[in-house]
Structures are given as structure tokens and as C-alpha cells.
């Protein structure tokens, strides 16, 4: 390569890097602002609900649903802790009640789809899907998945072995709980700021260099199987690996750039809601002897089926009440949302 070519390559590389930092950084900061505006108030409210001891009262209402899933009534507190607070709270509660391997696997499936709902539903609203639609989708897919597992997993062999044993749970004072939640939420929000900013810069760099187009092409078989647009590939892969807030952040950024239609945003949100953080969160329950194979396979299957079913339901709703044409439920393409 000649000296002139080296200089030209260096100038182009510098221009791409500068553009990635400038455009990606600006997009990242705008996305972070949108995420924090909805996340911080919800976190404060849910921490107060936990601190005032309201979770056990809410859990009591869900005890019959747990028995329908062939789980003990105490499992309702695990579900409510995960649904209203986070998975770490759910796992801490689960570790202190008596559950078999089958029961913890069923409970893990439910909790992994239906956790941190107030925060994540608010985040997904910013990513293009209403809170009520997201809540309904995640509760339905969570309970259907858990119900299927409760019927398909046998009541024999290793499945009926004890996974957790009831013990004395650590009791925190209100001050200790608030301090613990404040520290945990501060770390989480700091991670959101850093990771979303890095993701937006990386995404812009991949776009500037043309690599993003090839990533989408390589992931096309996966996105086709899930009924997703290839344009949503980066978002759903991000959500599956490092979490929904970060995947939703990329959906928000892509929607702002008009890269994703409302239909594509909806499909991505359905899939991310059921399959996000597929590895890290799953490991929390694997520590308690839940079956990783059942959890991962069932969540992916539910995600693929849910995208097609709920997008078809949305298409029918828009056709009947939307007052105009709507995108085909099988196309995943652009159209009015």
C-alpha cells in the first residue's frame, strides 16, 4: 500500500471514528435521557411499596394461580418479588422456601418472562409498545409457558428432588432495605448509562463501516424464524444477551432514525419481552438447580410463537378499529402502527 493510500485510509478511519463518536454519542445521550425519565420514578415507587411491606399482601392474591401451576402457595411471593422488584429479590425468596427441581424450573420460566414489570413496561413503552399491551403479552406468555412446563415436566426421577429448603430468610429493617435498594439501583442505572452509550457508538460505527448490514444479513435466518425484521436483529440480540433496557434502547434509537416501522418495533418488543437476558438471568435460577435447557428452549419457542400470534392479533385489531390499512401479520414490514 502506497504512502498516499495509507494517508487516505487513515483520514477515512479518523472520519468514521469521529462520526461514530459524535452521532452515536448524541443518540446515546438522547436515549439515556428517555430511559432514565421513565425508570427512576418507577423504581422509587416500587421501592416504597416494598419498604412498606405491601408485597406479601399482593402475593396472597396470586396464591390460587400458583396452585394452578402446580406450585406451592408460597411461590406467589417469589413471583410478586420478581414481578414488582427484580429477579435478585425473587431468587432470594425462592432460596428460602421448599421447592423441587420441577417447581423451581416452572417458577423460573414464569419469573424470567414476568419480572421487573413496572420498570420494563415503561421502558418498552418508550420503545413503541403501550404499557398495557406489554403487560398483557408478558403475563400471558409467562403463565402459558409455566403452565406448559408444569404439565410436560414429569413428577418422577430427578424432577422431584429437593432444590431449595425452607429456612430463615434475612429480615432487613426499613432503613437497611432502602439503603440496599438505593445502592443496587444506582449500580443498575450507572450500567444503563455506560452500556447504552457504548452500544449507540458501536452501532453507529458498524453502520458507518457497513458491518451492520452484514450482521443483519447473517442473522436473517434467526430473525425470519422468529418472525422479525432483519432491521431489528441488533436490538433483539442485544436484549437476549445483556438485557431488555439495552435492547429497548437500540429500538428507541432506530425508531428515532426512522429505521424501524411501528410494526417492526412491536414485533421486536414482543420477542425481547419474552427472551431478554437469556443467559445472565437464567444462571440465577440454575444456581437453585432449575433446568437451563427447559428454560432457554421454552423461552425461545414462546418468543417465536408470541411474535406471530400477537402481531396477527394486532393486525386484526388495526383492521377493525384502526380506520385504515394495516401491515400484513406475516410481513413484518413497514406500515402504519
- The secondary structure of 135-163 as a DSSP string is HHHHHHHHHHHHHHHHHHS-SSGGGGSEE
Residues recorded for the chain:
337
Interval 119-143 mean pLDDT: 92
Interval 256-262 mean pLDDT: 81
pLDDT at 263 over 80: yes
pLDDT at 18 over 90: no
Q: Which segment, 7-11, 38-42, 255-259, 291-295, is predicted with the most confidence on average?
A: 291-295
pLDDT at 164 over 60: yes
Interval 275-289 mean pLDDT: 88
* Residue 159: burial class (beta carbons within 10 Å; 0-12, 13-18, 19+): middle
pLDDT at 335 over 50: no
DSSP 170: P
Q: How far apart are CA 139 and CA 149, in angstroms?
A: 15
pLDDT for residue 10? 66
pLDDT for residue 107? 95
**Among the ranges given (35-49, 70-84, 132-146), the one the predictor scored with the smallest mean pLDDT:** 35-49
Q: Please report, rounded to a whole number, the percentage of residues in the chain having pLDDT higher than 90.
A: 29
pLDDT for residue 292? 92
Taking only the tens place, the pLDDT of each residue in 235-245 is: 888 888 888 87
Q: Bridge-partner residues for 162, per DSSP?
A: 100
Taking the complete model, does pTM exceed 0.85, yes or no? no
Taking only the tens place, the pLDDT of each residue in 301-317 is: 999 999 999 999 988 88
pLDDT for residue 334? 45
Look at 331 and 59; give whichever has higher pLDDT. Answer: 59
Contact at 8 Å (CB) between 126 and 34?
A: yes
pLDDT for residue 68? 92
Interval 291-305 mean pLDDT: 93
pLDDT for residue 327? 58
The per-residue pLDDT of the chain, averaged, comes to: 84
pLDDT for residue 102? 95
pLDDT at 337 over 50: no
| Residues whose CB is less than 8 angstroms from the CB of residue 181 and which lie 6 or more positions away in sequence, other chains included | 47, 50, 51
Residue with cell 429497548: 248
Report the candidate in 280, 317, 273 with the shortest Cα–Cα distance to residue 122.
273
For the CA atoms of 235, 90, 70, 74, what is the dihedral angle to 10 degrees?
-160
DSSP 60: H
For the range 62-69, what are the long-range contacts, defined as Cβ-Cβ under 8 Å and sequence gap of 24 or more? 65/143, 68/147, 69/106, 69/110, 69/143, 69/146, 69/147, 69/150
Amino acid at each position: 500500500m502506497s504512502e498516499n493510500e495509507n494517508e487516505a485510509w487513515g483520514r477515512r478511519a479518523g472520519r468514521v471514528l469521529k462520526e461514530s463518536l459524535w452521532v452515536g454519542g448524541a443518540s446515546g445521550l438522547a436515549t439515556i435521557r428517555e430511559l432514565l425519565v421513565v425508570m427512576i420514578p418507577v423504581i422509587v415507587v416500587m421501592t416504597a411499596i416494598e419498604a412498606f411491606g405491601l408485597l406479601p399482601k399482593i402475593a396472597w392474591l396470586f396464591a390460587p394461580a400458583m396452585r394452578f401451576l402446580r406450585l406451592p402457595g408460597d411461590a406467589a411471593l417469589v413471583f410478586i418479588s420478581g414481578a414488582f422488584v427484580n429477579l435478585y429479590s425473587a431468587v432470594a425468596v425462592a432460596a428460602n422456601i421448599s421447592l423441587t427441581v420441577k417447581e423451581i424450573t416452572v417458577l423460573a420460566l414464569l419469573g424470567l418472562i414476568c419480572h421487573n414489570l413496572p420498570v420494563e413496561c415503561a421502558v418498552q413503552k418508550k420503545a413503541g409498545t403501550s404499557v398495557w399491551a406489554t403487560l398483557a403479552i408478558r403475563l400471558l406468555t409467562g403463565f402459558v409457558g409455566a403452565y406448559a412446563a408444569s404439565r410436560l415436566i414429569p413428577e418422577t426421577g430427578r424432577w422431584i428432588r429437593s432444590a431449595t429448603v425452607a429456612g430463615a430468610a434475612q429480615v432487613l429493617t426499613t432503613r437497611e432495605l432502602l439503603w440496599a435498594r438505593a445502592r443496587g439501583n444506582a449500580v443498575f442505572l450507572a450500567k444503563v448509562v455506560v452500556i447504552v452509550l457504548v452500544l449507540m457508538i458501536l452501532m453507529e460505527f458498524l453502520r458507518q463501516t457497513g458491518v451492520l448490514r452484514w450482521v443483519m444479513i447473517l442473522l436473517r435466518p434467526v430473525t425470519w424464524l422468529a418472525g422479525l425484521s432483519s432491521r431489528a436483529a441488533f436490538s433483539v440480540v442485544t436484549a437476549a444477551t445483556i438485557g431488555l433496557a439495552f435492547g429497548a434502547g437500540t429500538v428507541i434509537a432506530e425508531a428515532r432514525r426512522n429505521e424501524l416501522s411501528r410494526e417492526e418495533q412491536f414485533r421486536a418488543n414482543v420477542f425481547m419481552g419474552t427472551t431478554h437476558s437469556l443467559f445472565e438471568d437464567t444462571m440465577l435460577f440454575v444456581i437453585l438447580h432449575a433446568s437451563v435447557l427447559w428454560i432457554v428452549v421454552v423461552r425461545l419457542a414462546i418468543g417465536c410463537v408470541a411474535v406471530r400470534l400477537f402481531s396477527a392479533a394486532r393486525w386484526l385489531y388495526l383492521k377493525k378499529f384502526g380506520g385504515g390499512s394495516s401491515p400484513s401479520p406475516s410481513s413484518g414490514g413497514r406500515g402504519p402502527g
